[in-house]
């Protein structure tokens, strides 16, 4: 056992790059003769073949060649989309066997439309002529090839002796000058030894740049377009970064998963590799106590910090006084090897906890048995097969350092970066500094490249081998790349399953969809809990366990029958399954995947199938809430004018309290409140809105100080944001597309009428009974609406689906199934993500949404600007303060005229349906194309039919207001509808962004209206606005010609379109 532990230690700890991973690839070529793989154990559909490539790419005319050994897992679905190449880490690891072992998972993650291809690197060969044996203890996929090997020795015994003399496993700290000196000398011996073996002849041909060119040789052999599709893990990300930098115009799709920093790989000693190690180790103890039933250490009744410190103390004790057991020496390096390995995958966490517990209890026998069971099989996995873990990186690196004194600062950095494992990096640093040969081609460029198509970079939050920091660094280097944070433990994404991560990966391979910037996916199960990526893929319907022949844990199965189950048990299970289906159907649920339930959209309880009377009541109450709060939004200027004298304050201060604070509250509420409806349902949101509006109105009317105005109006605006944005979602829930068109128009008209009615309503109440009664009446009215809302039913389908699913489980018990509910909130952190992060992300990352929202906010703010400007304009006609609100009536006909455009929309929709074509969002903005010039014309007419520069009857200005009313209504309807259609599943968040800008405009513009119109005069002031509106006339052209392209460049809009395509949403 002693030789085996030595061999294992050097393989794991010196080879910091070595990573046991496997992922899929794609292929099709005349140049490769694919055939059956020569292994009796290969039963799945897989093919093997060889590809001849140049030995030396720097001397293409030499005629010398080698062969690469490849394995292909064919696509399982039509149409085929090409080939994905994989590298699973290293350097020095096989790839074909890894791909074969993970082929089903990788096909599920990539969508099944690709051939998956992996090749054993040019330096990995364990065929019949290998001096180290054909299998090295592994069942290899056999085959002969004229390739290279990366061995410094002639056999395993010689290799172990050389590595023992190297003192790689000493792990001295920089303060241990004797230990550092010995390791430096041993590393030098090893470097000298390797320069005298077969690597003296082969070593220069093994560099990463040549391997990158090998990848492109495979691409040329198996594709017609010459474009690379690639998924690389660990060292495979350094290789992927290199090939992307060398051939940026040939990158079709690429995932870099578990990222090594390529800058450091080529030019320094990889100190960043250890940046997260200590944090991950600390989290191990924290997670242990969160799942005590799965963690033996939890029985010690200590805090996470105490447990962690006890292990550090144990490591120090073993360094001073190792334990000798049978033929093994259990010292700190032995322990660190085990820890390093166990941190790679969360499934090893319970075993590591048990091992620690055994050793803390002095139970050495059980400890060694457990550790041997965990890592003793690594030799059988081929992880320690060759010397490529040194030969490749040392030949690639150019640090400019050649002595121990020169690298001492780097050794100090390593130990300071990680208390746990930092000194493990000493061996690579010392060996590479003394390495005797360089790669024939070393990549010396930078990674500031723009690839043909953007790269997706994935980093785990808790990855002890390749920290998230490295993924952030490389994502910042490649222009257009997007970083996905996989919030799990272990090395790279396959270590811990996440349905969120799996969907994003599959979306990327299926249609090139990148996640939104800042996306983070959490794993589906905690580190110590049972679970696997395969379980996750089955649960979300990506993997069919029956077709792929997989057996899952019984707790995850709904009804599968073990082979030894007798017939009566099968009949009993079958009966239970029938009962489950009946109970599910009774609740309006049906199977939508092998492990998922969804709505039966034909069921009477699906919201769109509710009785018409039920839907009309709900819609009318919600519409009235929205209408009334909109009326109240424009009463501020009327109340402010009278409150000025009561509080002895200026117009600007009072307008700030009555109008700006309302807009500010609505802007903030628009970001915070509406996403609650996506996650928690709509009815509660409406009830909170009406109740809060009533209370805040009382605050404005009853508090005898300006503070009541400022605070009350702010919270009134905050409460009003719910119906202003959520109502569109309620209409979407209840009605199909044709009635939805008219209801959305009616809602939009009622909103515009509310804006126009508000100044009239407010001024007449103020004039009759005082400004405070505006808000007393508001409190009474909203209280009535609150009670009217109580019978309104929850209509959000996903919220109802979750309730019915929970009811089903309470009735029949755990059923081993789940629902696909994108709105499910599992934690406070997720709630914050939905409320704050998602709208913010959409707001800054979606070019189409930003453009639409600015246009909409401009027209919306203009209506609120009129609440102040009309006072100046019509007072010059000699009208009273109350009468100056009456011109808002002229907006009414224009609002109603927009109904004729809806007839045209309806005709377009019917034409699309007859042609079996799904309408595009751009098909519905015809009204915007008419409204843009109408707005400009209306403003020019209004601006030059009023005093002081023009003297015509007041009726002339009304014609301009009719056009303005029409245009403002169309702007609001078509642009809000465009957002709803483009961002279907994120409609509330998209509308929240628009609502935020509109609310700010409604609060700010009235502050400038009075000084602008009184200072510049009504003609000049209106002309400035008309000039801006004239510029807006080009906007419809932009949408009609470039709208689809802009949506495709907007991640959330692109994903919404994909979901619609998958689910046939209308």
What does 164-200 look like in DSSP terms, one character per residue? Answer: HHHTTT----TT-HHHHHHHHHHHHHHHHHHHHSTHH
Give Cβ neighbours of residue 227 (< 8 Å, ≥ 6 apart). Answer: 82, 219, 250, 251, 252, 452
**H/E/C letters for each residue in 1028-1065?**
HHHHHHHHHHHHHHHHHHHHHCCHHHHHHHHHHHHHCC
Give the pLDDT of residue 761.
95
pLDDT band at 140 (very low <50, low <70, confident <90, very high): very low
What mean pLDDT is reported for the chain? Answer: 83
CA distance to 27, 100, 154, 388, 490, per residue, from 142 (Å): 20, 13, 21, 20, 31
In a 3-state reduction of DSSP, which class is residue 299? helix
Pairing mode, strands 47-54 and 35-36: antiparallel
Work out the average pLDDT over 139-166. Answer: 71
pLDDT for 289-332, tens place per residue? 999 989 999 999 899 999 999 999 999 999 989 999 887 789 98
CA distance 487 to 521: 6
Residue 520 pairs in a beta bridge with: 485
Angstrom distance (rounded) from CA 410 to CA 432: 13
Q: Tens of pLDDT along 903-949?
A: 887 777 667 666 656 667 877 788 899 999 999 999 999 999 999 99
pLDDT at 578: 53
Q: Identify whether the C-beta of residue 196 lies closer than 8 Å to the C-beta of residue 455.
A: no
DSSP, collapsed to helix, strand or coil, labels residue 431 as helix
- Indicate whether 590 pLDDT > 50: yes
pLDDT at 130 over 60: no
List helix spans (H) across 247-331.
262-267, 277-290, 304-320
pLDDT in tens, 465-497: 999 999 999 999 999 999 999 999 999 999 999
User: Residue 548: is its pLDDT beyond 50?
Assistant: no
| 966 in Cβ contact with 931 (< 8 Å) | yes
What are the E-state strand segments in 570-698? 589-593, 596-599
Measured CA to CA, the distance from residue 78 to residue 960 in angstroms comes to 59
Q: Encode pLDDT of 890-900 as tens digits.
A: 999 999 998 88
What are the two backbone dihedrals, phi and then psi, of residue 596, each rounded to the nearest 5 degrees?
Answer: -130, 150
Determine the pLDDT at residue 564. Answer: 36
pLDDT in tens, 330-340: 998 889 989 99
- Provide the token pair at 746: 């009616």
What secondary structure letter does DSSP report for 378? G
Q: Using N-to-C axis directions, what is the helix angle for 987-1016 and 847-875, rounded to 10°?
A: 30
Q: Closest by alpha carbon to 586, among 578, 594, 574, 575?
A: 578
Residue-level pLDDT at 819: 65
Residue 481's CB is within 10 A of a number of other CB atoms, namely 21
272-296 pLDDT tens trace: 999 999 999 999 999 999 999 899 9
pLDDT at 1: 39
Q: What is the CA radius of gyration of the chain?
A: 35
The whole-number pLDDT of residue 801 equals: 83
Contact 272, 469 (CB under 8 A): yes
pLDDT (0 to 100) of residue 1038 = 87
Residue 131 has pLDDT above 50, yes or no: no
Cα separation, 340 vs 724, in Å, equals 54
The residue-averaged pLDDT of 340-359 equals 92
pLDDT, position 567:
37
Segment 119-130 shows an average pLDDT of: 64
pLDDT for 572 equals 41
pLDDT at residue 44 in the model: 53
Q: Please determine, for residue 37, whether its predicted confidence score (pLDDT) is greater than 70.
A: yes
Largest Cα separation within the chain, whole Å, is 110
Q: Would you say residue 701 has pLDDT above 90?
A: yes
pLDDT over 90 at 407, yes or no: yes
> Which of these ranges, 118-132, 636-650, 693-707, has the smallest mean pLDDT?
118-132
Specify whether the CB–CB gap between 387 and 92 falls below 8 A: yes
State percent of the chain over pLDDT 90: 54
Q: Which CATH class for the 611-792+825-1063 domain?
A: mainly alpha
652 has pLDDT over 80: yes
pLDDT at 976: 81
């Amino acid at each position: 056992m002693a030789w085996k532990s030595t061999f294992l230690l050097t393989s794991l700890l010196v080879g910091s790059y070595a990573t046991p991973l496997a992922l899929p690839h794609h292929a099709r070529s005349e140049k490769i003769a694919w055939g059956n793989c020569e292994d009796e154990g290969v039963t799945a559909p897989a093919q093997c073949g060889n590809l001849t490539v140049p030995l030396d790419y720097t001397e293409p005319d030499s005629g010398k060649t080698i062969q690469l050994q490849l394995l292909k897992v064919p696509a399982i679905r039509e149409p085929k989309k090409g080939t994905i190449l994989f590298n699973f880490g290293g350097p020095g690891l096989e790839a074909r066997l890894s791909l074969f072992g993970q082929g089903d998972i990788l096909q599920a993650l990539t969508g099944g439309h690709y051939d998956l291809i992996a090749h054993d690197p040019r330096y990995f060969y364990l065929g019949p002529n290998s001096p180290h044996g054909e299998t090295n203890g592994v069942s290899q996929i056999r085959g002969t090839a004229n390739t290279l090997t990366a061995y410094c020795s002639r056999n395993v015994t010689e290799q172990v002796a050389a590595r023992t003399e190297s003192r790689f496993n000493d792990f001295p700290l920089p303060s241990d000058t004797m230990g550092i000196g010995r390791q430096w000398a041993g590393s030098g011996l090893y470097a000298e030894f390797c320069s005298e073996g077969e690597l003296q002849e082969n070593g220069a041909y093994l560099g990463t740049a040549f391997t990158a060119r090998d990848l492109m040789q495979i691409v040329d052999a198996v594709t017609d377009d010459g474009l690379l599709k690639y998924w690389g893990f660990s060292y495979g990300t350094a290789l992927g970064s290199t090939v992307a930098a060398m051939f940026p115009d040939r990158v079709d799709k690429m995932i870099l998963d578990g990222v090594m920093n390529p800058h450091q790989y080529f030019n320094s000693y990889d100190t960043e590799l250890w940046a997260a190690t200590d944090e991950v180790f600390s989290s191990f103890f924290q997670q242990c106590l969160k799942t005590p039933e799965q963690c033996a250490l939890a029985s010690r009744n200590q805090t996470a910090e105490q447990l962690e410190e006890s292990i550090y103390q144990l490591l120090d004790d073993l360094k001073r006084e190792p334990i000798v057991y049978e033929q093994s020496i259990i010292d700190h390096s032995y322990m660190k090897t085990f820890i390093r390995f166990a941190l790679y995958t969360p499934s090893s966490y319970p075993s590591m906890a048990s091992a620690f517990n055994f050793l803390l209890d002095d139970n050495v026998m059980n400890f060694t048995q457990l550790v041997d069971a965990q890592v003793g099989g690594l030799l059988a996995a081929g992880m320690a097969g060759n010397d490529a873990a040194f030969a490749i990186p040392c030949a690639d690196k150019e640090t400019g350092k050649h002595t121990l004194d020169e690298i001492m600062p780097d050794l100090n950095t390593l130990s300071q970066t990680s208390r746990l494992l930092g000194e493990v990096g000493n061996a690579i640093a010392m060996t590479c500094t003394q390495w005797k040969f360089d790669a024939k081609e070393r990549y010396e460029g930078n990674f500031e490249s723009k690839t043909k198509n953007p790269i997706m970079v994935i980093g785990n939050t808790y990855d002890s081998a390749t920290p998230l920091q490295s993924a952030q660094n490389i994502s910042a280097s490649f222009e257009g790349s997007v970083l996905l944070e996989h919030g799990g433990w272990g090395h790279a994404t396959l270590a811990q399953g996440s349905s969120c991560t799996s969907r994003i990966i599959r979306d990327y391979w299926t249609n090139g969809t990148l996640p939104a910037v800042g996306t983070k996916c959490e794993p589906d199960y905690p580190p110590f809990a049972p679970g696997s990526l395969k379980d996750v893929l089955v649960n979300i319907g990506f993997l069919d366990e029956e077709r792929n022949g997989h057996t899952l844990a019984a707790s995850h199965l709904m009804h599968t029958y073990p082979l030894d189950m007798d017939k009566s048990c099968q009949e009993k299970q079958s009966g239970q399954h029938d009962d489950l289906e009946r109970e599910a159907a009774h609740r309006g649920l049906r199977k939508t995947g092998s492990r998922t339930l969804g709505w039966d959209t034909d069921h009477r309880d699906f919201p769109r199938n509710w009785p018409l009377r039920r839907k009309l009541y709900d819609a009318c109450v919600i519409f009235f809430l929205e209408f009334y709060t909109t009326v109240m939004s424009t009463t501020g200027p009327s109340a402010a004018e009278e409150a000025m004298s009561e509080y002895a304050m200026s117009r600007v201060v009072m307008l700030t309290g009555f109008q700006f604070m309302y807009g500010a509250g609505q802007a903030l509420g628009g970001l915070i409140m509406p996403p609650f409806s996506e996650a928690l349902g709509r009815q509660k949101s409406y009830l909170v809105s009406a109740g809060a509006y009533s209370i805040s109105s009382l605050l404005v009317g009853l508090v005898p100080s300006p503070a009541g105005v400022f605070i009350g109006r702010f919270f009134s605006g905050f409460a009003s944001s719910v119906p202003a944005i959520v109502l569109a979602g309620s209409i979407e829930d209840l009605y199909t597309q044709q009635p939805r068109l008219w209801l959305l128009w009616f809602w939009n008209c009622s909103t515009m009428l509310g804006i126009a009615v508000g100044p009239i309503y407010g001024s007449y109440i103020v004039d009759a009974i005082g400004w405070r009664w505006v808000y007393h009446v508001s409190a009474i009215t909203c209280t009535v609406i609150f009670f009217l809302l109580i019978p309104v039913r929850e209509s959000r389908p996903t919220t109802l689906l979750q309730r019915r699913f929970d009811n089903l489980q309470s009735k029949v018990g755990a059923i081993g199934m789940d629902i696909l509910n994108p709105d499910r909130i599992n934690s406070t952190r997720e709630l914050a993500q939905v409320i704050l992060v998602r709208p913010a992300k959409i707001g800054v990352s979606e070019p189409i949404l930003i453009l639409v929202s600015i246009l909409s906010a401009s027209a919306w703010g203009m209506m609120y600007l009129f609440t102040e400007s009309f006072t100046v304009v019509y007072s010059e006609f000699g009208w009273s303060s109350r009468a100056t609100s009456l011109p808002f009536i002229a907006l009414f006909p224009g609002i109603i005229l927009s109904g004729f455009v809806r007839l045209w929309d309806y005709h377009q929709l019917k034409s699309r349906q007859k042609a079996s074509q799904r309408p595009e969002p751009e098909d519905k903005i015809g009204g915007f194309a008419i409204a843009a010039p109408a707005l400009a014309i209306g403003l020019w007419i209004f601006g030059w039919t009023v005093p002081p520069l023009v003297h015509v009857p007041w009726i002339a200005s009304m014609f301009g207001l009719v056009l303005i009313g029409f245009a403002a209504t169309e702007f609001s309807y078509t642009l809000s509808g465009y957002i709803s259609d483009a961002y279907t599943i994120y409609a509330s968040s998209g509308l929240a962004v628009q609502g935020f800008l509109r609310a700010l405009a409604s609060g700010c513009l009235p502050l400038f209206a009075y000084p602008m119109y009184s200072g510049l005069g009504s003609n000049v002031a209106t002309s400035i606005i008309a000039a801006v509106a004239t510029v807006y006339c080009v906007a419809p052209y932009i949408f009609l010609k470039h709208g689809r392209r802009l949506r495709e460049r907007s991640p959330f809009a692109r994903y919404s379109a994909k979901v619609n395509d998958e689910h046939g949403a209308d």
